[in-house]
Structure 1
Amino acid sequence: MLEGNLINFVKQISKEKEVDLEIVKSAIEQAIISTSKKNTQYHGTRPVLDLEANTLRIFVEKKVVENVSNDKTEISLKSAHKIKKDAAIGDLIEVETDPAEFGRIAAQSVRQGIMQRLRDAEQEKIMDEFTVKVCTVVTGIVQRFERRNVIVGIGKVETILPQSEIPYGAQYRYGDRIRVYVQDVQKTQRGPEIRVSRACPELVIKLFEQEVPEISDGTVKIVSIAREAGMRTKIAVTSNNPDVDPVGACVGMKGSRVQMIVRELDNEKIDVIPYSANPEELIKAALNPAEVLSVQLSEESRTAQVIVSENSLSLAIGKRGQNAKLAANLTGWKIDILSEERRELLEKMEELNRRYMEDFLSQVEGLSELGRDALLKSPYNSVEKITKTAPVLLLNFTNGDSQLAESLVAGAKEYMEALEELAKNLGDSKEKEQPDAVAGGENAQGEEKGAEPPQPPDESAGEN
């Protein structure tokens, strides 16, 4: 190689590897220097590759001596004067040597060194190329499958689409053209490792930026996004221009824009809703198409209790709770969804628990009225909760009286046992009356349907 048509070799390598000529030139020179150190006796090797003249010149350092014992490292004073007139014994001077003197083994080592440095240069080029592509969407072609990962070719570079970044239900075939989001580029011993995704929310955002000019120019902004890849995505959008409808801009004429993205995402459903700074309005929109009757917010716990009509309950929750989960992720609120009937039932149960608690506390001796009121307003505001509470946590309500706190817990347990026994007796009596209920027709069945839990004693009756 060193004696052949070097310029053709350089150009061929440069074209095959898509590497700049200067990089190839530098790789060859560095390979010669490295090989000289390992496989020859020469010192201070300095190659000069002239691509225009198609020449390779190699210079080595030799020591000026009177009597030469090793012509690889030494030069006579007479020969040195031909190169440098003022050369003296002991000087080191640069002498040009024939590349052929490196020998066949050295030439092979140079070739290997060149290829290694070109691989390094190629990998550096890939690193530089894809580092700037991180957080962007690129188009690739499915090349093959490794275990459960998909190898996607982007130009001449292979990227990894991990199983965790493949949407639910997605199936790819060899040669499929897909758009992916470049997540990360890492340098490994095997070369650059480029990871891409089809499941991240950022892919949807970038696709909307490509399909919707109003988003790319900043008129419309995606404020929030929640995604169950392969199933459904919800995005909340707003507009900086009052004349531009953000939802309409994203959906497009007859849904043309959003349908382009839906097709790219293998028919994943996409809900586009208008963003609102009012949490109640945002939550209502996020639960669309369910009919939301009311929204009650708790700022401290960031919880929203949403009441929907009975017919809309399944719509609001969605399959496997998907709609509610996406709405919660989109809005940043924990959402509890109840039907109107369920809310009424819970309110009745809360009222019943309150009456039980008041009845129980009225039977506790030694507990002040202030302590009773405080308990009713505390987290321990039901008999059942007190049974599960350590006595030490009730000392604030008993004025530090530990015995009273212990009797509170013990009394609550007895009260609950009495309630359970009463409920059991009521159940047994209804079973005995069951034949009469069947014979009694509709009226008897209606009474059974209207049965309620045992009621605490009526306060007014107790007073009389």
Structure 2
Amino acid sequence: MDTKEILQVVDVVSNEKGVSKEVIFEAIEAALAAATRKVGGEHMDVRVAIDRHSGSYETFRRWTVVDDEADEFDPEQQFTLSGAQRDHPGVAVGDVIEEPLPAVPFGRIASQMAKQVIVQKVRDAEREKIVETYTPRIGHMLVGQVKRLDRGNLIVDLGGNVDALLTRDEMIARENIRIGDRVCALLADARIEQRGPQLFLTRRAPKLMMELFRREVPEVADGIVEVIACARDPGVRAKIAVRSYDPRIDPIGACVGMHGTRVQAVSNELAGERVDIVLFDVNPAQFVLNSLSPAKVVSITMDEESHTMDVAVAEDQLSIAIGRGGQNVRLASELTGWELNLMTEEQASQKQEAEIGTLRQMFVDKLDLDQSVADILVQEGFTSVEEVAFVPAAELLAIEEFDEDLVQELRSRAQNLLLTQEISREEEFGDVEPAADLLEVEGMSRRLAYRLAAHGIVTREDLADQAVPDLLDIDGFDETLAGQLIMAARSAWFTDGAQA
């Protein structure tokens, strides 16, 4: 292979495949090195350097310098340090010694090998380029034509000699797609694979429906109407939440279109999937109410701490709210992000009465109150002794049935109870403070650390010296927990030993 051939191959392959010339040069260097080894010896370490301007190239044989006492030594690729220093003073272990080799004539087999290496390098470069081009488009909708079927999976031609894979698991159930059909899908991943496509599609992702509405509804594409969220049961039913940034435009009407043409186009693209379009509301309760349509909601009780809502509906509306197989309430829950507990009015009333009874009894027992006073606290929204103790006195005085003396007595009882509980905890733990390193033991809680300190186990070292049976008499410890904490405390021993 002369210099003109090398430059010509680089230009032709780079232009045909759209791969940088540097990649082609590196491929030819690797091919020439492989062919040189074929002639001179398979175990040789060979490097070929091609001049990027003239096309001329040089061939070098390489040896790595290793210690004289190395466990493994390969004379074909390594020099011992003492042997290398005789001819190359100043070299050190790890250095590479190169000696030029004469250019060897390449026969038919060697030339064929060179060609295979170049083809493989170009193919790898093409795959990397495809992944690099499509990675920024992950999460976007792509449109392609079904090229062939492969064991139930679809190979989709995206154009430009780029294929993508749509697996059976990412297709909509029971949809009938044939070779030659145009298909819309979301790009789920782009990664380098040894064989086959590097792009992976899905038709089950909620974002695909959002992208389809962006395509079909000009107001969504222009940003006047926004699709906030989507929840899907692919191929069966979906809910989308929309809002409008222009008070003159109805977001639901814009997405439905004249005679339902827009929403029908989206539905047809997704194997007839039925779409409920829901008006988004910043008020979570109203948003949930909208999302449960067509069911009519009687009342909603929110619990922000657990992020749940108890939704009460009339007896004849319960089956509508739940939907077939729980589909309606499940999609509403996914759409709004709230866990929804559906119940009838009677069930909601019973649950509320039970909760009120529990709170009332808690105030009666802990603060020694009459039931009438406890009822008033519950009705005013108090749910804990801490609220009674620390809420501003003015809020309690604003309650019609309370006077200043009653408010002072309530606050005093609540504060005294909390103080008693705090003293009780201090007595339980004792006066001994656990050391900082004991609190830092993996899996250690503050309460457990104080319990250990009360039994004389104050530092990490103290805990590491214990055996599991030593801790079983301490409240809160079982064999598993004791073993885990002791081993965590002892981990410092092994770390210190390794460092030493």
For residue 274 of structure 1, report the CA deviation from its aligned partner: 1.4
- Cα distance in 1, alignment partners of residues 109 and 145 from structure 2: 42
CA contact (8 A) 2:303 2:309 kept: yes
Q: 2:393 — aligned with what? A: none
Residue 142 of structure 1 contacts residue 173 of structure 1 at CA under 8 Å; is this kept in 2? yes
Which amino acid is 1:239 matched to? Answer: S
Cα deviation digits, residues 325-366 of structure 1 (max 9, x gap)? 11112122222223345546767x859x969x99xxx9xxxx
Match of 1:447 in 2: none
Cα displacement (A) at 1:176: 2.8
Letter in 2 for 1:18: K
5+ long unaligned stretches in structure 2: 62-97, 384-416, 422-500
In structure 1, the partner of 2:368 is 370
8 Å Cα contact 2:308/2:340 also seen in 1: yes
Instruction: Report what 1:136 is aligned to.
Output: 140
Determine if contact 2:155/2:163 at 8 Å carries over to the other structure. Answer: yes
The answer to whether residue 288 in structure 2 is matched with residue 283 in structure 1 is: yes
Q: Deviations along 1:138-176, whole A, 9 cap, x unmatched?
A: 112334444554433333333232343223433433333
Amino acid corresponding to residue 162 of structure 2 in structure 1: V
Q: Distance in 1 between matches of 2:131 and 2:367?
A: 74
Equivalences for residues 36-47 of structure 1 within 5 A: 37-40=36-39, 45-47=48-50
Structure 1, unaligned runs of 5 or more: 63-91, 380-395, 401-464
AA at the equivalent of 1:305: D
Aligned residues: 339
> What is the CA-CA distance between 1:237 and the residue it aligns to?
1.2
Q: What one-letter code is carried by the residue in structure 1 that aligns with 2:368?
A: L
Q: For the structure 1 residues 119 and 44, does the alpha-carbon distance in structure 2 shift closer, same or farther, using more than 3 Å as the test? A: closer
CA contact (8 A) 1:29 1:49 kept: no
Matched, 1:336 2:341: yes
Give yes or no for the alignment of 1:105 onto 2:103: no
CA RMSD of aligned residues (A): 4.5
> CA 1:191–1:152 in 2, change beyond 3 Å: closer, same or farther?
closer
295, 302, 309: which one pairs with 2:307?
Answer: 302
Question: Which position in structure 2 is the counterpart of 1:206?
Answer: 211
User: Is residue 2:297 matched to residue 1:292?
Assistant: yes
CA–CA distance in structure 1, aligned partners of residues 102 and 291 of structure 2: 79
Within 1, Cα distance between the matches of 2:366 and 2:179?
78
CA distance in 2, matches of 1:335, 1:193: 40
Secondary structure at the counterpart of residue 270 of structure 1: strand
| SS in structure 1 of the partner of residue 287 of structure 2 | helix
> Displacement, 1:94?
9.6
TM-score, L = length of structure 2: 0.56
What SS does the corresponding residue of 2:239 show, helix, strand or coil?
A: strand
Structure 1 pair 302/152, CA: closer, same or farther in 2 (3 Å)? Answer: same
Q: Matched residues in 1 for 2:198 and 2:20: separation?
A: 26
Taking every aligned residue pair, what percent have the same amino acid on both sides? 33
User: Does the aligned pair in 2 maintain the 1:181–1:198 contact within 8 Å?
Assistant: yes
Query: SS of 1:102's equivalent?
Result: coil
1:29, 1:48 within 8 Å by CA — same for their partners in 2?
Answer: no
TM-score, L = length of structure 1 = 0.60
- Counterpart mapping for 1:246-325 below 5 A: 246-325=251-330
Give the letter for the 1:26 counterpart. Answer: F
Supply the distance in 2 between the matched residues of 1:214 and 1:312 (Cα, whole angstroms). 34
Give the partner amino acid of 1:287. Answer: L
Contact kept in structure 2, 1:185 and 1:192, CA below 8 Å: no
- Taking the TM superposition and a 5 Å limit, the aligned residue runs for 1:81-120 are 101-120=105-124
Identify which of 314, 325, 332 aligns with 1:327. 332
Structure 1 residues 161 and 354, CA gap change in structure 2 (3 angstroms): same
Question: Contact 1:33/1:47 (CA < 8 Å) preserved in 2?
Answer: no
Tell me what 1:26 maps to.
25
* 1:170 aligns to 2:175 (yes or no): yes
Moved more, 321-330 or 21-30: 21-30
Alpha-carbon distance in structure 1 between the residues aligned to 2:349 and 2:48: 92
In the alignment, structure 1 residue 35 sits paired with structure 2 residue 39:
no
C-alpha displacement of 1:40: 4.5
Q: 1:371 to 1:189 in 2, by over 3 A?
A: farther
Q: Deviations over 1:278-311 (max 9, x none)?
A: 2222111101111223323233333322232333
SS at match of 2:157: strand
User: Compared with structure 1, are the counterparts of its residues 33 and 4 closer, same or farther at alpha carbon in structure 2 (3 Å cutoff)?
Assistant: closer
Distance 1:305 1:38, change over 3 A: same
Structure 1 14/127 Cα, relative in aligned 2: closer, same or farther at 3 Å? Answer: same
Q: Deviations over 1:112-135 (max 9, x none)?
A: 221121111221222122213211
Distance change >3 Å, CA 247–CA 4, structure 1 → 2: same
Match of 2:391 in 1: none
Q: How far 1:316 sits from its partner (Å)? A: 1.2
Distance, in Å, in 2 between the alignment partners of 1:201 and 1:235 is 9
1:124 is aligned, of 112, 128, 153, to: 128
Which deviations, in whole Å up to 9, do the C-alpha atoms of 1:39-91 show, x marking residues without a partner? 345987554688xxxx97555689xxxxxxxxxxxxxxxxxxxxxxxxxxxxx
